[in-house]
Structure formats: structure tokens, C-alpha cells
Structure 1
Amino acid sequence: MSQSPSRKLPPAPLEYLRRWPIQLSLVVVAIFLYAPLLTMMLFSFNDDRSITQWSGFSLKYYKQAFQNESLIIAFMNSLTIAFFSTLISLVVGAMAAIVLWRFRFGGKTLFDGTMAVPIVVPEICLGVGMLVFFAKVLPWPQGLPWPLNLGAIIIAHVSFSFPFVAVVVRARLGSFNRELEEAAKDLGASDFRALMDVVIPHIQPSLIAGALLAFTLSLDDFVITFFTAGPDTVTFPVKVYSMVRFSVTPEVNAASTILIVVTVLLTFLALKFQGSSALTAGHDGGAGEKK
């Protein structure tokens, strides 16, 4: 006897997402994670300065945020730091990924492990380390013109951004066919031309994804920036924190909403360009290494 087409079949043993306990848990986790952010974004449009009572829709606090000169300067500082740190992190991270993928050398395991330190070490530890470094080892000159006065923060951001670029690029290199590079060399291309004409086009999506990821990490970083910034180098997250210390107003909510929207858009673009290449990380079986 055949089943009716309209009758819903029970979930198969491995179809976990069709089981109501799993669906309920996902909904609860989503509410727990995103309800505070959505509430803050909603109250950024509140007509009243109160953050607990809704009195009407208004865009006046966004207008105040865009007219706040110190907030605009802080945002420009964040954009400048993110831009330069992204450029440097992209070059250093891509070079490190290619070296680890292609060559065998003494201390490679140690070097590979060291690359992961900025990713796994708590930011507060990196911040304190950067504070000691720029206070005792490499004191950054004060009173330099903009954007040279942002140099210490840029160096600090590069130190924790380029490992993320290296991870993304190395994942993409895991799917590269070395025969293409060898064919280019057989046709007369030098190592540099083979790299630029064959390898770089293959890893271009990961370069874009890594750059967007590094830009996002730098743009919304607070802890490390807080320890390395001077009195004349306030960034957007640090400025928002200083505003919150006095009171949480809709203007603070508006500024935070702007940062969240920019961060989410950049993260979405990074994930779109990266695709599923990260799934191949660590599964190249060492085929990319030069014997």
C-alpha cells in the first residue's frame, strides 16, 4: 500500500536538524546570542535618552553620532589602522603560508606552532605584552604627525592579524595542483613568474577573504588597542568604551550599531570569498612540500 504524497516522512537516523529537540536548542542558542545585540540596535532608534523605555522611533542619535567630531576622528583612526595593518598582514601572512606549504626546513614545526600563538593566546596577554614591548623595547615616538602616530597600534594589529591570513591562504593552497606550477616551469617560466601567474591566481579568493578578515579584526579590536594607544590615538572601539563609562545613551547604541553593521558585512564578504576552502586545511598530505 503506497503512502500518501502529502504525508510527512519521519526523520532518518542522521537527519538531526529535523528533530524537534535539536531545532529547539538551536532557537534557544540563537536567542541567547543575538537578542542583546538586536535589543541594542533597536534602542539606538529610540526617541528618548532612556535605554529601558521605548518612546518612539527617531534617527536623531544617528545624526548626533555623525556630527560628533571626536567620534568621527576615532573612526578615521580605526579605518587607517585597519587599512595599513591589513596590507602588511596580507603580505606577511601569504608569504608565511606559502613557505609552510612548499618547503621543508629545520624548525618548521616550531615555526608553525609559533604562528598559532597569537590566535590562541588571550588578548589581554597580548595587550600587556605589547604595552611592555613599546614601553621598554621599542618606544614609539610621541608627537608624530598623523598617521605616523598610529604606528604602534598598526604593528600590534599586524602581530595578531597575519596568522589568520596565513591560515586562510594555507587552506586554499591545500587544493592546489602542483603539476600546474611544474608545467609553467617546463614552458620557461621562472619560479617568480610561476608564483605570480599560477599560484597567486589560485589563492586569490583566500587573499581577499584573509584581507577582509584581517580588516575586520583590526577594526573592532579593543583590548590590544587599549594597551598600545596613546592619548592622541583614540580608535573607534576605545572611544565607544569611553562613552559607555559615563552612561549608555542611544548615541552609544547608534555608534555601536554602526560598528556591528560594518563588521558583519566585512565578515560576510570574507566568508563568501573563502567558501569551503578551509575544509581542506591539513589534508594535503604534505604534497605541496618540496622534496
Structure 2
Amino acid sequence: MTDTPFPTGEVEAAPARRHALAPSTGGRPWTFYVLATVFTLYIIALYGPMICIYILSFQDVRGGLVFPMRGTSLHWFVDLFTQVRTGDVKGAFSRSIRLAVVVTIITVVISFMSGLAFRKRFAGDSFVFYMMIGSLVAPGLVLGIGVGLICNTLGIDAAWYSTALGAQLSWTLPFGVLVMFAVMSRFNNAWEEAARDLGASSWQTIILVIVPILAPGLVAVALFGFTLSYDEFARTLLTAGSLNTLPLEIWSMTLNVTSPSLYALGTVTTLVSFVIIGVCLGTIARIQKRRARGPAIH
């Protein structure tokens, strides 16, 4: 009999197993290089075409639609907003921004109200939820055709501020509500009860307690609403009327514009998207930083 808890053979084999399981310091395994190569190719395939467009948009007036570049200048950006032959880019950009802002506001408000309402069960809540999510299943073009036919039957003229607004809300609201559900699942009802115990009314509780706590989630909903509306094409194609939004204007430019102005427009729209995303992420980071510092003590 021995005092060791393991058989002698296992004790002798343990160092060998530990050596085999220890990470190798002499070099990386071959699987690392395979995965790194696949990831690099994926990044190139994802961002390569975009980078090419950005580079070609800075060509000189002699430049064409392909490489090699012939000088560098901002000519095509100026041409984009001054020449009539490139289309109504300035008007389309203005309409898309205004439409996206309206869609964002409505999406945030309705998603927030839905998040508050669905905290408790009510009659028909499942039906309402599945009807709302059902618009995600329908193809965007089919839904746009349906909205256009209904408006035509009712004698309503299609316009970007009415019919296109309704069609885009059928796309942004489900995403906003789903995000708000995820945010509300982490909301502690004790904070709301504490505010009411201190004498706060329902509106004061919402404005002074619930909204500040859910602020990062509301910013995320706003980001979803704005970007989905700003880039939406299928649901807007047959509901925007005679005045194009920016995605529709870009599509029409691909049919008649054969100059780097199209690339310049892609660069501008991407820059706007990155600025908006940066502002939203910066807002969320600032809110989180203020919460980490805690309330000021006087």
C-alpha cells in the first residue's frame, strides 16, 4: 500500500501529459496560419471594393472608372453637387436625411412605448407581436408594391414624406422593438418602484428614471432606425413618388452616369454613415463613462 492517491504509472505519466498540453513557445500551430489567411481574404473581399471606390473618387478630371489613376483632385466631388447631368444629388441627400430623422424619432418613441407595454401580459399581446415581426418576413419589394397599390386605390399620391415613410417604418419598427425588448429585459423594476415610493409621478418616473437608465439602448434603437432608413431601397422604390431619395438617386445614376462622380457619391454617403455611427457610439460611451464616475457628491 502507498500513500499516493494515484497509481505509480499515472504519476510518472503526468509530467509528460502536462508537457504535451503546455502551449508551444517555439512557434504557432499551422491552423493559426490557415485561419489568419482565411480571415485576411475575407477582409479583402469585404472592404477591397469599397476601398477601390474611395481611391478612384479622388481622380483628376482625366480619370475614368478603372485603374490606373490619372492624377488626384477633388474635381468629381465638386462635379457631383454642381453639374445637372449627375442628377439631383443635393435634393435626394436632403430628402433622405429628413426622412431618416423622422423615421428615427418615430421608431424610438414607438419602440420605447412598446418596451414599456410588453413588460406585462395583456389580451392579444402575442398577436400584436407576431404581426409586427411579420413585416420582416415579407420581401421589401413586395411590401413596397402592396403599399403603392393601397395608396393608388385610396387616391393617395405617393411621396417620400408619406407613403415612403410608412413603408420604411414597417422595416425599422420591428428592429427597434426587438432591441428595446433586449434592453428592457435587463431593467430592474426596483428602480422604478423606489422612485414611486419617493413620491414621483408616472411621468416623472419615466423621464427622470427610466429614460436615463435606458439611454444607451435608445441610442442604439435610433442608430438602427436612421441607418436602415438612410440605406433603404426596396421599400422606397415604388412609394417615394417622383422625388428620389438618395439610394434611388444612386440607382438612377448607375444607368446614365459614366464618370467617377458615382464613386464620389459613394464616398460621401459612406462618410456620412461613419460620422453618424461615430456620434452614436460616442454618445453611448459618454453615458457609460458618466455612470462609471457615479453621481457627484456635494
For the aligned pair, the TM-score class normalised by the smaller chain equals 0.7 to 0.9
Q: Is the 8 A contact 1:86 1:158 kept in 2?
A: no
Aligned to 2:73, the other structure's residue is in SS state coil
1:167 alignment partner in structure 2 = 178
Q: State TM-score, norm by structure 2.
A: 0.77
Structure 2 counterpart of 1:20: 33
Q: Distance in 2 between matches of 1:206 and 1:40?
A: 34
Matched-pair contact (CA < 8 Å) for 1:44–1:61 = yes
After superposition, the C-alpha distances for 1:142-192 in whole angstroms (9 at most, x for unaligned) are 7xxxxx862222222222112222222222222211111111111222233
Deviations 1:59-80 (A, max 9, x none): 1000111224621111111111
Is 1:75 the counterpart of 2:75? The answer is no
Amino acid at match of 2:51: L
Aligned equivalents of 2:256, 2:63: Cα separation in 1: 13
Structure 1 stretches of 4+ moved >4 Å: 9-12, 268-275
Distance 2:79 2:59 in 1: 13
Q: Which residue of 2 aligns with 1:227?
A: 238
Shift of 1:51: 0.8
Q: Find the residue that maps to 2:135 and give its secondary structure.
A: helix
**What is the match of residue 111 of structure 1?**
128
Task: Choose which of 263, 270, 273 in structure 2 pairs with 1:260.
Answer: 270
CA distance in 1 between partners of 2:276 and 2:178 (Å): 18
Counterpart CA distance in 1 for 2:166 and 2:175 is 15
CA distance in 2, matches of 1:97, 1:177: 13
How big is the shift at 1:43? 0.9
Within the candidate set 45, 57, 74, 2:58 is matched to 45
Equivalent residue number for residue 284 of structure 1: none
Structure 2: distance between partners of 1:189 and 1:240: 51
Counterparts of 2:127 and 2:161, CA distance in 1: 31
Q: Does 1:95 align with 2:122?
A: no
From 210, 215, 222, the counterpart of 1:204: 215
Match in the other structure for 1:282 = none
Q: TM-score, structure 1 length as denominator?
A: 0.79
d(CA) in 2 for partners of 1:270 and 1:118? 26
**Native 8 Å contact 2:157 2:241 kept in 1:** no
| Distance in 2 (alpha carbons) for counterparts of 1:268 and 1:26 | 25
**When the two structures are aligned, how many residues end up with a matched partner?**
258
Q: Is the 8 A contact 2:135 2:171 kept in 1?
A: yes
Whether 2:99 is the aligned partner of 1:84: answer no
Q: Which runs of no fewer than 5 residues in structure 2 stay unpaired? A: 1-18, 286-298
Q: 2:188 aligns with which of 177, 184, 190?
A: 177
After superposition, the C-alpha distances for 1:90-119 in whole angstroms (9 at most, x for unaligned) are 11121112212x110133223222332333
Mapped contact 1:123–1:224 kept (Cα < 8 A) = yes
Q: Give the counterpart letter for 1:227 in structure 2.
A: L
Gaps in structure 1 of 5+ consecutive residues: 13-17, 143-147, 276-291
**In the alignment, what sits opposite 2:250?**
240
1:61 aligned residue (76, 85, 89) = 76
Q: What do you get for the CA RMSD once the two structures are aligned?
A: 2.7
Distance 2:213 2:57 in 1: 43
Q: Distance in 2 between matches of 1:167 and 1:262?
A: 26
Which structure's CA Rg is the greater one? Answer: 2
C-alpha distance in 2 between matches for 1:167 and 1:95: 12
Could you give the per-residue CA deviations for residues 212-254 of structure 1, whole angstroms, max 9, x where no partner exists? 22111111211211110112x2111111111110244200110
CA distance in 1, matches of 2:283, 2:26: 37
For the residues of structure 1 that align with 2:170 and 2:37, how far apart are their CA atoms? Answer: 40
2:142 matched residue in structure 1: 125
8 Å contact 2:80–2:265 — kept in the other structure?
A: yes
Q: Measure the CA separation in 2 of the matches of 1:88 and 1:182.
A: 28
CA 125–206 in structure 1, closer or farther in 2 if over 3 Å, else same: same
State the one-letter code of the partner of 2:104. T
Percent identical pairs in the alignment equals 28
Whole-angstrom CA distance in 1 between matches of 2:133 and 2:200 = 34
